[in-house]
Structure 1
Amino acid sequence: MADIDDARKAFDRFDANGDGLITAAEYKSAMAQLGDFNVTETVAQAVINAHDTNSDGLLTFDEFWSARKGE
């Protein structure tokens, strides 16, 4: 159970506005806060798109969780 709790905390850190979705801008900002300044919005969008199962260009918690679990 700790894994999903950790994933929720990580997701919430990326979801800056708390709307339940991670945008490319939020992903880029969170990565910069973690010290990775090489992530551009284009790169962030590519990462999101790789795990975006409904193709809306955003990352939900379920998509984030699936990506984290390697599904």
Structure 2
Amino acid sequence: MADIEQARATFDRFDADGDGQVTPDEFKHAMAEMGDPYVTGPMAEAVIKAKDTDHDGTMSFDEFWQALQG
């Protein structure tokens, strides 16, 4: 998914409130809506933490895009 427009559309599915940041709770809910209801709170927190390079507890689009590049 190296296409930035496709990445933005995917990120926007996770960013429920449209504030430009994906919280663990938003991640968990988006995964459930996309057919994976087994993502738990701790799992969502671990995913966000792994991509959260500025350590603010959320994942920005830039962090999401960077994770896709690596």
The structure carrying a bigger strand percent of its residues is: 2
TM-score normalized with structure 2 length: 0.94
Does 2:9 align with 1:14? no
What amino acid does structure 2 have at the position aligned with 1:7? A
Q: Cα RMSD between the aligned structures? A: 1.0
Structure 2 counterparts to residues 1-71 of structure 1, below 5 A: 3-70=3-70
- Residue 21 of structure 2 aligns to a residue in which SS? coil
Deviation at 1:65, TM superposition (A): 0.4
State the Cα deviation string for residues 5-47 of structure 1 (Å, max 9, x = none).
0000000000000000000010000000111111011100100
- Residue 5 of structure 2 aligns to a residue in which SS? helix
TM-score normalized with structure 1 length: 0.92
Runs (4 or more) in structure 1 with deviation over 4 Å come to: none
Unaligned runs of 5+ in 1: none
What percent of counterpart residues are identical? 58
State the number of aligned residues. 69
Unaligned runs of 5+ in 2: none
